Every structure is written in C-alpha cells, then in structure tokens.
Chain A
C-alpha cells in the first residue's frame, strides 16, 4: 500500500471509529468497522431495542461479528441478529428476569436446536437454584448428535434431579460423544451413560437445595 493510500485508509478508519464513538452510548466500534452501513444501522437498531428491553446485548453484537467473519451478506446478518433477539426474549420470559447472560445464551442455543418453551421451563424447574447453562449446553449437544428432543430433554432433567453437578455433566457429554464416535447408537449411548450417573447419584450425592 502506498503511503498516501495508507493515510487515506487510516483517516477513514479514524473517522469511522469517531463516528461510531460519537453516535451514542453503547455502539460497539467493531460493528462499525466490520459491517457495511445499512447492516450496521439495522443491527444497531436491534441492539438498541434489546438494551431498552434490558436484554444482554453482547450476544447480539457477537452474532453480527460472527456473520461478518463468516462472510455472510448484510440481510442474513440482520436476520440472524433479529432472530437471536427473539430467542433471547423468549428465553428470559421462561427463565425469569434473574437469568444470567450465559443462561440466556445457552437457552437461545437450545431453542435453535428445537427445545420448546415448555421443555426449557422443565429443565429450569429441575435445576432448582442451580444455573441451567451447562444442562442446556449438554441438551443442545445431545440433540445435535441426533437424539430426539424429547428423549434428550428427559435425560437431562433426570440427571439434574439426581443432583448431578456441572463437571459431571461435562464428563457425561464427553463420554457420550466418545461412545458415538466408536459407533454406538446415540440414544443408547446417552441413556446408558445417564443411567450410570443417576444410579451413582442416587446412592452417593445429597439432593440439591
């Protein structure tokens, strides 16, 4: 790049960063530099409305950045961000206003995998006071490995009710994955591993709060 072209590029980057900064509280400068203008305006509007609704906005910004990184076109990015916002709104409606950003993210991913509001509520109820982030991540993974939504949901709820903690859930997921990689039927693998944990859980762990 010639020196003058570098100068022009640097100045325009500067102008855009300043414009992004000056355009109001909370505008993520990375969006301004990575999205084209119409997409940026549209995404910002969605982020602003989410902020007004007191939803976490970082996941929406991340979704837009992900789309830019993957070379998606503007309308697809806007659509993805909008749909995430809708899922996050539903997630919070089910999980309650005290849900953390991580729980909302995990619940949004679960919705995408086909988990219903009702099932999410059941997962939440089974967790009691514990966070649902890990159970939902495991549930989403099981569904992604071709286990039916209803079966996967019931398995995860069973594990939660047995007092299985997050590290054990993570291990459960890894074991199921390894079994599937070795040729096991996904549902059989998951049910087998879950039985192992719940039986152990029933005899050794105290019921959670």
Chain B
C-alpha cells in the first residue's frame, strides 16, 4: 500500500465511526410511513382502476395451472403476457401521440461473400438479431439483402454477420459510437 493509501485508510477509519441520530428518528420515519397509502390498499386500487390487456400465451394446461399457482403466491392476478405486445400499450401511454405514420419499407444491402448469415439489428427491432422480419437473404455473389419495415424518423442500426460480427452499413451515414465500441449506422426515414 502506498503512503497515500495508508493516509486515506486512516482518514477513512475515522469516518467509519458510527453516527448517532436523534432518539426520535425511528418514530418520525414510521409516522411518515404510516401517513402513506398502505400497500394492500394500493394494490387493490391499482387493480380496480388500471385498464389492462390480458393475453394468454399458448401454454400447455399444466404449465398454465402452475403459472396460476405462482401468481397466487405473488399476490397478482395477471396472466402471462406476450412481452413484446405488452410493450405497445406502455409505449402508447408514454407517447400518447399524434397518430403515428406507417413504417416505410426500407431495403438493407450488405456485400459479405464469406457470410453464412446476415441480420439487420437496430432500435426499430430492439437490437434483436433473431427478429424474423430482419433476416437478410443471400441473393448471390456475396450480396445479402432484406426489405423490412422501419418507422419514420431517426434510427441507429447495424448488420450482424454470422451472429457474431457487427458491421456498420458502409453505404449509410455513420454515427460515432463511443458507448460500446462497435460501430453503428444511422438512417432517417422520411414520411412519404
């Protein structure tokens, strides 16, 4: 340990000494907490007043029965919700927009002669390389392409080759990507 570390440790030891609060602290916290709506009441109110979409996934009945038992333990009365579909009502609640313009079909092309698989990933498909609609087809001569829906607006995206190599679209505007060290491209989809 360096001299500096030793000094800082000595200082820290002093600072680690316990600190006493006023005698009434606990009582004040509990008084404040008791003034808040209780959790059981909150849940009931939320259940009664929140509109929700309930979707049942095609599970086997055995699994469904087990799920119901689990939920009873958790004290919730939800059923299994399709995760991606659940995101939509949430997104709509967050951005109670303006009627959204329809996504445009955009062609993505990558020349990658040695690739076995090419997918397009971006913020329009949750960066999901396994998303069905964004798998490129090999057209011959190392040319891969897919035409897929992209919402109007500004997006970041990339190609993923063979599920492992991230390749920015050489033909598209670049974005400097300092966050994850792997390059991205940008696309601005205009409203038609």
> Are A and B interaction partners?
yes
A106 at the B interface (CB under 8 A): yes
With A56-B95, A70-B182 already in contact, the answer to whether A11 and B174 are too (CB < 8 A) is: no
**B93-111 vs A: 1/0 string, CB under 8 Å?**
1110000000000000000
Residues of B within 8 A of A101 (CB): 95, 153
A202 at the B interface (CB under 8 A): no
With A138-B173, A174-B171 already in contact, the answer to whether A69 and B127 are too (CB < 8 A) is: yes
Most chain A CB within 10 A, of B83, B93, B177, B190, is at B83
Residues of B within 8 A of A167 (CB): 190
With A17-B80, A101-B153, A105-B154 already in contact, the answer to whether A66 and B127 are too (CB < 8 A) is: yes
B180 at the A interface (CB under 8 A): yes
With A106-B154, A141-B186 already in contact, the answer to whether A67 and B81 are too (CB < 8 A) is: no
A59 at the B interface (CB under 8 A): yes
Residues of A within 8 A of B174 (CB): 140-141, 144-145
- Cα A140 to Cα B166 in complex, Å, equals 20
B60 to chain A, nearest CB (A): 9
| Residue from the list B78, B154, B175, B190 in contact with A144, Cβ < 8 A | B175
- Cα A117 to Cα B127 in complex, Å, equals 29
Residues of B within 8 A of A56 (CB): 95
Range for the number of chain B residues in contact with chain A: 35 or more
Q: Are B94 and A67 in contact (CB under 8 A)?
A: no
With A10-B59, A137-B188, A141-B186 already in contact, the answer to whether A76 and B180 are too (CB < 8 A) is: yes
A185 at the B interface (CB under 8 A): no
In the complex, which residues 45-87 of chain B have their Cβ closer than 8 Å to any Cβ of chain A?
A: 59, 62-63, 66-67, 70-71, 74, 76, 78, 80-81, 83-84, 86-87
With A7-B63, A70-B182, A133-B154 already in contact, the answer to whether A27 and B90 are too (CB < 8 A) is: yes
Closest 5 CB pairs of A and B: A141-B173, A144-B174, A80-B179, A69-B127, A62-B123
